[in-house]
Amino acid sequence: MNVSPNFSPPIRVMAPYFLLSALFYTLSIISLFFIEIDTTLTDFKLIAWVHLYMFIGGIVLLSVASFIFLVIIIKLLKLKI
């Protein structure tokens, strides 16, 4: 696979999503250390952390899927199908 300047614009488009997801993932892992070990499933700190972690997982999944979609479109346009 040849890497050329024509291949790089989708990476520049997707870079903010990857950076934001890495930042929020790091923040969620840091916030995990502030939850007590003996907490129950009804504690709002734990519920908030699970929602934050799952939201970040969705952002990462969507950014990877959209990056793959953009690469497929670029490859199809280069093939002129």
Confidence (pLDDT) at 52: 78
* Res. 2: pLDDT tops 70: no
Confidence (pLDDT) at 18: 74
In a domain, 51, yes or no: yes
In a domain, 75, yes or no: yes
In a domain, 55, yes or no: yes
The residue with greater pLDDT, 25 or 7, is 25
Residue 11: pLDDT band by 50, 70, 90 thresholds? low
Number of domains in the chain: 1
In a domain, 15, yes or no: no
| Structural element, H or E, at residue 21 | helix 9-32
Which residue segment(s) compose the domain that 49 sits in?
43-81
In a domain, 7, yes or no: no
The residue with greater pLDDT, 10 or 3, is 10
Confidence (pLDDT) at 51: 83
In a domain, 70, yes or no: yes
Do residues 15 and 66 lie in contact, with contact meaning Cβ atoms separated by under 8 Å?
no
In a domain, 69, yes or no: yes
Handedness of CA 38, 41, 45, 50 (dihedral sign): positive
Let me know if 6 is exposed, middle or buried by CB neighbors in 10 A (0-12, 13-18, 19+).
exposed
In a domain, 1, yes or no: no
Look up the pTM and report it: 0.52
